[in-house]
Structure 1
Amino acid sequence: MKKYTFDKGGIHPPDHKELTRNLPVETMPLPDELWVSMAQHFGAPATPLVKRKDRVGEGDLIGAVEKGLGANVHSPASGEVVAIASVPHPILGKVPAVVIKVDHSAPPKDYEARPWDGLSPQELLGRIKEAGIVGMGGAGFPTHIKLNPPPQAKVDTLIINGAECESYLTADHRLMVEHPEEVVEGVAIIMKILGVARAYIGVELNKPEAIEALEQAVKKSARQITVAPLEVKYPQGSEKQLIQAITGRRVPGGGLPADVGCVVQNVGTTWAIYQAVVLGKNLYERILTVSGRGVKRPANLLCRVGVRVADIVDYLGGLSEETVKFILGGPMMGFAMADLSAPVTKTTSGVTFLSRKEADLSNYGPCIRCGRCLAVCPMGLSPNEISIYMEKGRFEDTPRFGLLDCFECGCCAFICPSKRPLVQFIRTAKMKLRQKAMATKKG
């Protein structure tokens, strides 16, 4: 069997997937209240289209972005709007949200499959835009824009990202095992939109059940789709690394996948596209993993957007006394949070609760110039230099060490013997450069 992989850097962190790998997806019961964030996508937050005391139905449009990048936001359940409030966000601090009191007596919305072969690519894109679909691997880029590259891009290859190389997370794994036919049909829809005849589904070899399920579904569909077994190596699921692993093409610095004829979509996004086009269902729920030895009962949950982490913790029996860290996402690329009231969004792939034995809480030391971070960086950057310049307050000098090509995978911080928070230095440098650019523009 051919094993696909990228050639520069990478690491092999403990994956801890045994905690949830074999747990079927279960449906999280609706809580009494949902906090539906208006910032669930790349771009400006959506504007609420409802006000206090309004009645909303499951799937109703409640937020929209009129200008710039963004995506529609829909009500995850029937109920009454009780407030327009601010809720925690891992990057933006506080963001606007629609708070909905759930009507538990309302019947669930029914969806029926309908044919889509007769729809044009533009009609399919319109349905995806209407459904508010975004990249569900974490970036949250609006899918209707990503699937409409400029003609000069000459896209010829679609890659579906089922690598799920992040430690602890198994939501995509369970999705591929339990809904392979729907994933494959979603791939076919994207192929029609892009007008491509070639598609790959990249899955790491530590997910043999998913590879087998997808291969069987591809055979039934008789479509030109290849299930590509990926070597188990982090960050195999990064767009640029995945493109190189499967096609051998290299996305240039500052470039996009479309520049080398590729479009990459997460497998969760692909399933959402199937649901939007075939079932007419807007995006207001997703599968996520709740894991780590800090939570009493790990699980893979089908969870409505707007459910608070605190509600998930209660449902799963609470936290261990040894819990010391809570992360939205996985430990490599997720965001440590202090507030359990943070709501689930379209981009929440998991929630990780680390125990004292799992989390390294030691203080960091000075750079010892060992070069390990340079060796493992999949982009060939200099994280050590960025951190040193940041410590001296010289953030303006960091771009020459590759700052803007960094996608914050965390390989450098993982391997650093001095335990330096290299990703945090990098994120801070990017933030300060943005702030300086905005101040200069206003001035």
Structure 2
Amino acid sequence: METLLEQIESGKLWQFPGGIHPPEQKTLSNQQPIARLPLPDKLILPLKQHIGANGSLLVNSGDHVLKGQALTAPGTNWSLPIHAPTSGTIEAIKPMPSAHPSALPELSIILRPDGEDKWTPLNPISDISTLDNKQLIDIIHQAGIAGMGGAGFPTYVKADSPKPIEFLVVNGIECEPYITADDRLMRERAKEIIAGVEVLQGILKPQKVLFGIEDNKPEAIAAIAAAAQHNQDILVRSVPTKYPSGGEKQLVKLLTSKEVPSAGIPADIGVLVQNVGTLFAIWQAIFEGKPLIERVVTVTGNTITQPSNVWALLGTEIKHLLDSQGFSPVEAQRVVMGGPMMGFTLPSVRIPVVKTTNCILAPDNQELVIPGDEKACIRCSACADACPQSLLPQQLQWFAKGKEYQKLEEYNLFDCIECGACSYVCPSEIPLVQYYRVAKADIREQKLEQVKAERAKERFEARKERLEREQEERQNKHKRRSAGAAPKAADKEKVQEALSRVKDKQSDKSAVQAAIARAKAKRGENGELEPDNSAIAEERAKRKAQARKYKEEKTDQPESTDKKDAVAAAIARAKAKKAAAQTAPESEPAAADDKKAAVAAAIARAKAKKAAAEDTAEPEANAAPSDKKAAVAAAIARAKAKKAAKKAEEAGKSTVEQAEAAPTESAEEDPRKAAVAAAIARAKAKKAAKEAEEAGASVSEQAEAAPTESAEEDPRKAAVAAAIARAKAKKAAKEAEEAGESTSEQAEAAPTESAEEDPRKAAVAAAIARAKAKKAAKEAEEAGASVNEQGKEANEPTAGSETDSSLTEQGAEGTSEQQQALSPEARKKAAVKAAIARAKAKKQAKEQEGNEPS
């Protein structure tokens, strides 16, 4: 059995499914050689004329360029440059209508030719053996060569195929009606085309080169066969005329019996396909150094006076081509770019020629009938029979109308080569190919959006991952810092502990040294340690000396008992005053009147004492020790009385403040309490006045007793002093009684008269009474102080012992002779009266205790 290569070498051909036989109409334009056109007024060069990305601009508006100069630089993603087709000036760079059924604007360079057609410096290669594959491919790339059969795929990408190529297939079929550009090119430039084949043959190293040409082009077959006869690896094959045998997949099937897989390319099965126009451009780029700036275009149709093939500069407007060939438009004229099967009607004749433009068809209304209205599908299956890809055109059309894009992909929509065979045979005149083109565009746009979304998602996830990583790094950094700070803190604590231990040791050392120093100081002469009891011994010696002194004084004063009694009486009076002052704050608000009465009584007693002191003679400087003791006791009693009065005043203040706050709250509750408090105040005032009167009487009796003993000197003076003292005592007692009665009457009258009208008035009256009592206490204290001051001024101290000063404080005016004249009986009488006063004071203190509110 023959191998595939042997079958190919023997000239065997295979068949592809489907296909049609439309009228060829090639004789209109293939009879004349390829013509040259005059320079157009302007050239419009879209930046994108191929499959892939645009190049980046190298020129600006106003620049002057030469023929063949690069206007853009290729980038990535199958990018190709474009070149200036002639010399001239860049008039503008702006969007212009594109060579597409939609005529959507694309960024274009507008070149105004200068008419000189001056070339840029060229770099032709005479011997390709001096260049390696990479250099050759780079020349092809920089020349901007793309597939010129209609697809516009970058040639350098195919030439740099990563997969091994078994067969290089040259497409010279040109199966579509009316188009004869490749036919005339093969006839006129066969040697150049074979030279281009040999360049690719040297790069790809295929086993065989299969040159396929339809059998309706005998002149082209002969020319290519003659040019390739020196190369045994180039096999020229005549292929039966059938549309669309020029399709890439169909031609591979015809010549090699291999089928390109769905959604695949011929390189997947070791086959590479190139168009004859592309191979001629490769020859120009390598051997002449010229970039792709022109191509052969068929201008034909019944409205063209001279249909033929022309060399058209890229960017030339379609109008210029039509006018140069004698265009005579008809009514409802259509101009089609491409053939009648795969071409599209141009929206304007101002569209430029691009790298994929191979034909401009201007038919009349009879030549290419305008399709009628679309009718319903009759399910004849003619479209399925004509499809060269074995697809289901009717089903695809339904999915395209319903925009079921997933179903379209499942039914291999992208395997459709848009040959138009289905539309050509459809009796319902359904434009099936138009449905497929729109659906393909929608699916591509949808996939592009998905790609963008996926890229955005990837960027988002990458950003999120980066932020999380940075956050984790920051946390780890903080952890490291905290971990490093912990040992530092521990080290600091250890250092502090060590320092504290050192300080403790130093303090212990200093304490030990101090103890040692004290021990050394206490050592006796014999070097033995003795206990340090010196301070205790000194205190003990002082106490013993005081005891001895006290004992001696006691033995020297036999009459100390009487003096003790006087001192005890003074102490009793002071305690009575203190008890009265302490009970005052605990009493009810009306107790302020009792304080006033007590103050008045104290004033009376002070005046009586002063009178008694005036009646007595001034003591001598060398008075007996017993009299001096009595004077000291009297001074102590006065000081205690003054202290008790001060405490009573403070207690009165607090009581007044409490009483001022209390009535506003309690007056409304029970106005009878104020009356009860007033009655208690009146009773206490009367009692205090009576006691003050009795105390004054006792003082006057003492004063009377004193002058009887000293009557020898001046009895009249003593009698007058006694009378004055009695009068003053009576007056003080009366004033105290009147003050107490008036205060009590006011306090009593307030609640009884106005309790029913306004309970607040009772509280106000009680506050006034307390204020008056407070004022009277203050005046009494000032009066007592003035009396004491007068006594101090009258009795200046004399040179002598400390007892003389105590006598001056007492304010005594009697002489030393009068003091000595007192008989023991008089002193006993005074002691009895003092005992009586003490008893009365105790009784008064008990009564006040009983009257305290619970």
Instruction: Give 5+ residue unaligned stretches, structure 2.
Output: 1-9, 454-854
Whether contact under 8 Å (2:304, 2:327) holds in the other structure is: yes
How many residues of Structure 1 are paired with residues of Structure 2 in the alignment? Answer: 440
2:562 is aligned to none
Q: Which one of the candidate residues 378, 382, 406 is aligned to 1:372?
A: 382
Once the two structures are overlaid, the 10-residue window that deviates more, 190-199 or 110-119, is 110-119
SS in 2 for 1:289: strand
Q: Which one of the candidate residues 122, 146, 149 is aligned to 2:158?
A: 146
CA drift of 1:223 comes to 4.1
Question: Which protein is richer in strand relative to its size?
Answer: 1
Distance 1:79 1:64, change over 3 A: same
The reply to whether residue 193 of structure 1 matches residue 219 of structure 2 is no
Q: 1:119-130 alignment to 2 at 5 Å?
A: 119-130=131-142
1:104 is aligned to 115
2-structure distance, mates of 1:396, 1:67: 31
SS in 2 for 1:426: helix
2-structure distance, mates of 1:6, 1:155: 22
The reply to whether residue 237 of structure 1 matches residue 237 of structure 2 is no
Question: Alpha-carbon deviations, 1:36-76, whole Å to 9, x = none?
Answer: 11111101233322110001000000023322122111110
Q: 1:159-178 alignment to 2 at 5 Å?
A: 159-178=169-188
Q: Which amino acid aligns with 2:170?
A: I
CA drift of 1:389 comes to 2.2
Instruction: Give 5+ residue unaligned stretches, structure 1.
Output: none
Q: Which one of the candidate residues 149, 173, 176 is aligned to 1:137?
A: 149
2-structure distance, mates of 1:356, 1:54: 45
Whether contact under 8 Å (2:13, 2:257) holds in the other structure is: no
Once the two structures are overlaid, the 10-residue window that deviates more, 352-361 or 209-218, is 352-361
Q: Which one of the candidate residues 406, 411, 414 is aligned to 2:424?
A: 414
Q: 1:75-90 alignment to 2 at 5 Å?
A: 75-89=84-98, 90=100
2:348 is aligned to 339
CA drift of 1:113 comes to 6.5
Once the two structures are overlaid, the 10-residue window that deviates more, 288-297 or 422-431, is 288-297
The reply to whether residue 26 of structure 1 matches residue 38 of structure 2 is no
Q: 1:304-323 alignment to 2 at 5 Å?
A: 304-322=313-331
Compute the TM-score of the two structures, normalised by the length of structure 2.
0.50
2-structure distance, mates of 1:106, 1:44: 29
1-structure distance, mates of 2:188, 2:120: 22
Distance 1:113 1:68, change over 3 A: closer
Whether contact under 8 Å (1:5, 1:242) holds in the other structure is: no
2-structure distance, mates of 1:178, 1:440: 49
1:157 is aligned to 167
Distance 1:323 1:48, change over 3 A: farther
1-structure distance, mates of 2:417, 2:121: 40
1-structure distance, mates of 2:379, 2:386: 14
1:39 is aligned to 48
Compute the TM-score of the two structures, normalised by the length of structure 1.
0.95
SS in 2 for 1:438: helix
Q: Which one of the candidate residues 75, 94, 98 is aligned to 2:105?
A: 94
The reply to whether residue 301 of structure 1 matches residue 310 of structure 2 is yes
SS in 2 for 1:18: coil
1:428 is aligned to 438
Q: Among all aligned residue pairs of Structure 1 and Structure 2, give the percentage whose two residues are the same amino acid.
A: 37
2-structure distance, mates of 1:310, 1:126: 35
2-structure distance, mates of 1:136, 1:63: 20
Question: Alpha-carbon deviations, 1:84-142, whole Å to 9, x = none?
Answer: 02222215722111111101034457976722232211111111011010000011111
Q: Which amino acid aligns with 2:265?
A: L
Higher relative contact order (CA 8 A, sep 6+): 1
Q: Which amino acid aligns with 2:446?
A: K
CA RMSD, Structure 1 to Structure 2 (Å) = 1.8
1-structure distance, mates of 2:121, 2:302: 37
CA drift of 1:248 comes to 0.8
1-structure distance, mates of 2:170, 2:312: 22
SS in 2 for 1:138: coil
Q: Which one of the candidate residues 337, 362, 380 is aligned to 1:328?
A: 337
Question: Which protein is richer in helix relative to its size?
Answer: 2
Question: Alpha-carbon deviations, 1:130-169, whole Å to 9, x = none?
Answer: 101000001111100011111xx32111011000001100
SS in 2 for 1:324: coil
SS in 2 for 1:263: strand
2-structure distance, mates of 1:109, 1:174: 29
Whether contact under 8 Å (1:309, 1:342) holds in the other structure is: yes
CA drift of 1:348 comes to 0.6
Distance 1:106 1:252, change over 3 A: closer
Distance 1:107 1:207, change over 3 A: same
CA drift of 1:28 comes to 1.4
Larger radius of gyration: 2
Whether contact under 8 Å (1:4, 1:231) holds in the other structure is: no
